[in-house]
Amino acid sequence: MRQHGFGIHPPLFYDLSRLANAMLNSSLKQLSTLLAAKKISSVELTGEFLKRVKALNPDYNAFITIDEKISLAQAQTADAMIASGQAQPLTGIPIAQKDIFCTKGWLTTCGSKMLSNFVSPYDAGVIERFNAAGAVNIGKTNMDEFAMGSSNETSFYGPVKNPWDITAVPGGSSGGSACAVAARMAPAATGTDTGGSIRQPAALCGISGIKPTYGLVSRYGMIAFASSLDQGGPMAKSAEDLALMLNVMTGFDTRDSTSLQRASEDYMRDLAKPLQGLRIGLPKEYFVAGMSADVARAVEAAITEYRRLGAETVEVSLPNTKLSIPVYYVLAPAEASSNLSRFDGVRYGHRAPEYTNLNDMYQKSRAQGFGAEVKRRILIGTYVLSHGYYDAYYIQAQKLRRLIAQDFAAAFAQCDIIMGPTTPTTAFALGEKSGNPVQMYLSDTYTIATNLAGLPGMSIPAGFGDNNRPVGLHIIGNYFTEAQMLNVAHQYQQVTDWHIRMPDKLIT
Amino acid sequence: MSLSLDDIKRVANLACIEVSETEAATALIQLSGIFGLIEQMQAVDTSAIEPMSHAQDVVQRLRDDTVTESDQRELFQSIAPKTEAGLYLVPKVIE
């Protein structure tokens, strides 16, 4: 029998709980070094983070499922990989997985009552990649139901709280992942982004997150919302951590028909490059009314910092920006209404306990299984695709999508990278917008256009607004320029410390 | 464009979602607000523009028509609401 786990490690020379405190702000690279040097085992590291999850999750609700037994078994496997010299950069590191990624043997709910009994019989492509890398799954994170939401309030499992202020939303839909990283319940997490669902919660929780170019991360086993817009990506403290995560998450997958076949990249390769001569485009439409004064101050200060680092700024124009929200709220619901037709109570998921015939079974199962926001979007989608309205809504939205993509192409002729705020305001209060869908939708005003164009987008912490709530700096790159975006973010994080700030009350 | 309560009920029926009178009335108010937002699209002349269905200009990949998956019926049916003899059970549809 192969020897693994606890036994083979030399005794620790210092107090583990003090080490655990130091680990809270450690980068993935630092954790990897500790593991490689056998200063700590993956079982110990995983155990420390699980302890923190169990202590904090009752207040924050960031996780829907934790399974200590599976996590520790994975940690043992990782320790064996390390002991036999087969360690990769993420081997043994606990990663929180958004509950949208099908994970074999784990409850995979997508934040919905519809899937509240769904133990996935298979792994998503992304999960397979983390497993192959020897990463440990520390738990499945809470999210807006079927990723439809910007506040995490649409989850069947209740809202997640913002670690910076328990009365504020964490953003959504990847709110659980953002909270888990911000509260240091996990060193890093996965998210998905259809209209801003990685970047907006990253901004509101003061962490870093990147939505890669559409097609780089496999959508196989990632429960579909709007297939032409959905893209998985990492959420972590720093750009360097995101780069390590992207190295694992990206890659061709034959089982996803829109997965791109490209040579693999090392996203760490350009982190150290100086920013001398970088041309930053500032869209004039992003710096107008709508952005709150505290967000504007933080974003302008970040841009000043970039000028100090040698970058130049140039005004660009994205004239169709204001159309992104209307276009998105036609296309995304249309695709969702089609994708979610699979939930019929026949093969898996919720089935109504009582019904009179087959159609009644469908109608009742779906009425009971879906929450209000999901139903709203299915109704919108069904309407815009229905006879007589298809051209006026769906086709018109697809045409405008092209105009929005063309705006970016024109802007990138004048600059290397685009910057602006990730969100118009800092985190809003729980309940503030949940009764008003239109107000909620408008909070994604800066992030949606990149999904429509399929471009990569990222948010990094850039200070704090009023009430000490975090502000995110939005970085949009041209197609396949993730390595450059990470470089741009990393250089800023070398001269600022926003990304390693954490709420005082959470420092144990 | 203005939505009616009948539109909501018709669409809910197409989407196979049961709605009560109260739910339909609430949906009417909320969807009317959302369509107010969506209507901004109609102000743009797009007659010369090709619709864009996808972010990347790629063609659909095809694969050979061969069996690639192994039989996992029992595993998949283990999470189904109702099965019998390897079949999914639904209410009777043919009299």
Question: What average pLDDT does this structure show over A275-291?
Answer: 92
Residues B4-18: pLDDT tens digits? 999 999 999 999 999
Q: What is the DSSP letter of A310?
A: T
Domains of chain A by residue range: 6-321+403-502
- The candidate with the shortest Cα–Cα distance to A232, out of A149, A154, A147, is A147
Predicted confidence at residue A507, as pLDDT, reads 74
Region B56-65 average pLDDT = 84
Architecture in CATH for domain A6-321+403-502:
Alpha-Beta Complex (3.90)
A69 carries an active-site annotation: no
Give the pLDDT mean for A415-434. Answer: 96
Query: Cβ–Cβ of B82/A395 closer than 8 Å?
Result: no
Of A433, A401, A400, A491, which is closest to residue A204 (Cα–Cα)?
A: A433
Mutate to test the interface with A, among B13, B79, B94, B95 (most CBs of A within 10 A): B79
Which one of A197, A208, A324, A443 is the catalytic residue? A197
pLDDT at residue B61 greater than cutoff 90: no
Q: Do A330 and B60 touch (CB under 8 A)?
A: no
Q: Say whether A197 is catalytic.
A: yes
Give the up-direction half-sphere exposure of residue A121: CA atoms within 13 A in the CB hemisphere. 13
Query: Which of B5, B9, B29, B30 to mutate to probe the A interface, most A CBs <10 Å?
Result: B30
Asked if B28 has any chain A CB less than 8 Å from its own CB, the reply is: no
List Cβ neighbours of A202 (8 Å cut-off, separation of 6 or more).
A171, A174, A178, A191, A208, A209, A235, A422, A459, A460, A472
Q: State how far the Cα of A270 lies from the Cα of A482, in Å rounded to an integer.
A: 10
* Residues of chain A neighbouring B60 (CB-CB closer than 8 A): 257
**What is the rounded distance in angstroms from the CA atom of residue A179 to the CA atom of residue A185?**
8
Structure-block tokens of residue A193: 């982004």
Domain-wise residue ranges, chain B: 5-43
* CB of B37 less than 8 A from some CB of A: yes
Pick from A95-104, A111-120, A437-446, B35-44: least confident: A437-446
Residues 6+ apart with CB under 8 A from A335: A224, A225, A226, A227, A228, A229, A381
Closest residue of chain B to A365, computed from CA coordinates: B17
Over residues A224-250, the mean pLDDT reads: 98
B91–A322: do the CB atoms touch at under 8 Å?
no
In chain A, residues with a C-beta closer than 8 Å to the C-beta of B51 are 395, 398-399, 401-402
Q: Are A252 and A469 in contact (CB under 8 A)?
A: no
Does A235 or B55 have the greater pLDDT score?
A235
In the numeric block, which tokens belong to residue A199? 């970047």
Give the confidence band of A2 by pLDDT, cuts at 50, 70, 90: very low
- Chain B, 41-70: which have a CB under 8 Å from a chain A CB? 41-42, 44, 46, 49-56, 58, 60-61, 63
Tokens 């990649």 correspond to what residue?
Answer: A129
User: Phi/psi of residue B42, each to 5°?
Assistant: -70, -15
CB pairs under 8 A between A and B: 163
Condensed to tens digits (0 to 9), the pLDDT of residues A355-410 reads 999 999 999 999 999 999 999 999 999 999 998 899 999 999 999 999 999 999 99
**Residue B37 burial class via C-beta count within 10 angstroms: exposed 0-12, middle 13-18, buried 19 and up:** middle
Q: Is A98 a catalytic site residue?
A: yes
∠ CA A24-A29-A34, nearest 5°, is 70
Tell me whether B6 touches chain A (CB under 8 Å).
no
pTM summary value: 0.95
Instruction: Place B1 in a pLDDT band, splitting at 50, 70 and 90.
Output: low
* CA A110 – CA A116 distance, rounded (Å): 8
Which two three-digit tokens encode residue A342? 């699979």
**For A452-506, what is each residue's pLDDT tens digit?**
999 999 999 999 999 899 999 999 999 999 999 999 999 999 999 999 999 988 8
Q: State residue A17's pLDDT score.
A: 60
Q: Where are the alpha helices (DSSP H) in A313-357?
A: 324-339
Q: Which CATH number fits domain B5-43: 1.10.4160, 1.10.20, 3.40.50, 1.10.3470?
A: 1.10.20
Residues A190, A480, A149, CA angle at the centre, nearest 5°? 40
In chain B, the residue whose alpha carbon lies closest to the alpha carbon of A450 is B55
What pLDDT, on the 0 to 100 scale, is given for residue B31? Answer: 96
Subunit contact A329:B54, Cβ cutoff 8 A: no
Helix, strand, or coil (residue A217)? strand
Q: Per the CB < 8 Å rule, is A366 touching B17?
A: yes
- Assign A18 a pLDDT band (cuts: 50, 70, 90): low
Alpha-helix runs per DSSP H in A11-124: 16-23, 28-36, 42-60, 68-83
Contact, A107 vs A46, CB < 8 A?
no
Would the CB atoms of B16 and A344 count as touching at under 8 Å?
yes
A contacts of B7 (beta carbons < 8 Å): 383
